[in-house]
Amino acid sequence: MIAVIGAGPAGLMAAEVLARAGRHVTVFDRMPSVGRKFLMAGRGGLNLTHSEPLERFLGRYGSQAAPQLLEAIRAFPPEALRAWAEGLGQPLFVGSSGRVFPQAMKASPLLRAWLQRLTGLGVTLRLRHHWQGFAADGALLFADKAPVQADAVLLALGGASWPRLGGDGGWVPLLESLGAGVIPFTPANAGLRINWTPLFREKFAGVPLKSVTLRWQDQPSRGDGIISTYGLEGGLVYPLSAAIHQAGDAQRVVIDLRPEMSEGEIAARLRGLRPRDSLSTGLRRTLSLAPVAIGLLRETSRDLPRDPATLARLIKAVPLMVTGTEGLARAISSAGGVAWDALDARFMLTRRPGLFLAGEMLDWAAPTGGYLLQACFATGFAAAQGMLDWTGRG
């Protein structure tokens, strides 16, 4: 029997590959239901992967990405993930940004179809099994359960973000005791904390800020954000959040409310402001600024200048002070995890033959946009191939 511990995308993908190869697979998870973070990821629309060319896609994992991670994605690329999802009866579509979603826009239909497939393949599911290490004879130890013998074990225990969904990094001491180096977890794809005034917070919390550019130092990020009670979140800020977190202390960012226009073009339009118009009315009429964008301007300067050149300069660079980033409890993902040099080419822990790792518990990070889930599926696929190779050789 092969044991898979962790019933998220990486673990379930490995279980499917192994079961298709005729192996007897049991999946264990300490939670009362499977795929909790996967379901959370699908609440706003399940972004499975991205449609951009593969080499550009691979570049999203950063210049320091482990070659082993990139090879796993090449072996199970976005096209393979899309074919797999459609094979579950989940038609997909490509959004205007190139992101790939199920037409249902939810994770639950896909997960239900997947679990039915796994059942049909003979995969056994054991919930409420909290793994606590190995016995002296190599048996798996679970809290308040009988020991379990397995021919090989895959750990897909997740990272350390959203711990209430199951991935709390509690496995770190166990892996370190087995000789694996673990890079400390830090928040990735996390919201930025900004001390809004009470009036702005009450009026605009939950309102999207669309088609703007956020700049920190010389790094830009363009897209949509969401005003939150604590600051700013969404795809606009996530690409920069890890770097801002590492920089520490208070960090200044600026927001360009009209990135498609030059400062001169904005000033020219502002010269069309009518004396009888309020400034808010004029900004809506001449620049189509949404109320939340005008509110953001007023958040930085209560008495907005009417001089076109001065106001245009502010619209192109609204200054905001970031006091920090959201912690692991609310970050979309985490950076850090088991160091790649602890694994061999088959995703097996070199100091523990027969123990394989996959998913977010490995040391990699990626932006939102389909890259997180793609890497989870791909490493689960790669680790399963490694297990087949190892068990096949006895």
Residue-wise pLDDT tens digits, 23-39: 999 999 999 999 998 99
- As a whole number of angstroms, the distance between CA 53 and CA 125 comes to 36
Of 258, 310, 314, give the one whose Cα is nearest residue 286: 258
pLDDT of 301 higher than 70: yes
- As a whole number of angstroms, the distance between CA 310 and CA 287 comes to 15
pLDDT of 375 higher than 80: yes
- As a whole number of angstroms, the distance between CA 165 and CA 163 comes to 5
- As a whole number of angstroms, the distance between CA 252 and CA 381 comes to 41
Mean pLDDT, residues 122-139: 96
Mean pLDDT, residues 329-346: 93
**What DSSP assignment string belongs to 61-76?**
T-TT--HHHHHHHHHS
Q: What pLDDT does residue 242 have? A: 85
In percent, the amount of the chain with pLDDT more than 90 equals 81
**What DSSP assignment string belongs to 69-120?**
HHHHHHHS-HHHHHHHHHHTT--EEE-TTSEEEETT--SHHHHHHHHHHHHH
How many CB atoms are located within 10 Å of the residue 293 CB? 23
DSSP state of 181: -
pLDDT of 42 higher than 80: no
Q: What pLDDT does residue 10 have? A: 98
- As a whole number of angstroms, the distance between CA 384 and CA 291 comes to 51
- Mean pLDDT across the chain, nearest whole number? 94
- C-alpha dist (Å) from residue 20 to 15, 23, 307: 8, 7, 69
Q: What pLDDT does residue 96 have? A: 86
| Structure confidence by residue, pLDDT tens digits, 160-188 | 988 888 788 999 999 999 999 999 998 88
Residue 393 banded pLDDT, cuts 50, 70, 90:
low
Of 132, 69, 40, 15, give the one whose Cα is nearest residue 359: 69
Q: Find the angle CA(148)-CA(150)-CA(130) to the nearest 5 degrees.
A: 45
pLDDT of 72 higher than 90: yes
Burial code (b: 16+ CB inside 10 Å, e: under 16) for 65-92 equals bbebbbebbeebbbebbbebbeeeebeb
| Structure confidence by residue, pLDDT tens digits, 186-225 | 888 999 999 999 999 999 999 999 999 999 999 999 999 9
Q: What pLDDT does residue 394 have? A: 45
What the chain holds in terms of domains, given with CATH numbers, is 2-187+334-392 (3.50.50.60), 192-325 (no CATH)
Q: What pLDDT does residue 40 have? A: 86
Mean pLDDT, residues 319-335: 91
Cβ contacts of residue 112 below 8 Å, gap of 6+?
none
How many CB atoms are located within 10 Å of the residue 168 CB? 19
- C-alpha dist (Å) from residue 153 to 217, 302, 339: 45, 61, 18
325 contacts 187 by C-beta, under 8 angstroms: yes
Mean pLDDT, residues 348-358: 97
In percent, the amount of the chain with pLDDT more than 70 equals 99
pLDDT of 120 higher than 90: yes
| Structure confidence by residue, pLDDT tens digits, 49-67 | 999 999 999 999 988 899 9
DSSP state of 343: B
* pTM recorded for the entire structure: 0.88
Cβ contacts of residue 294 below 8 Å, gap of 6+?
280, 283, 284
Structure tokens at 124: 């056994």
Cβ contacts of residue 384 below 8 Å, gap of 6+?
13, 14, 15, 16, 17, 18, 154
- As a whole number of angstroms, the distance between CA 143 and CA 133 comes to 10
Mean pLDDT, residues 304-327: 94
- As a whole number of angstroms, the distance between CA 155 and CA 232 comes to 34
| Structure confidence by residue, pLDDT tens digits, 240-291 | 998 898 888 789 999 999 999 999 999 999 998 888 888 899 999 999 999 9
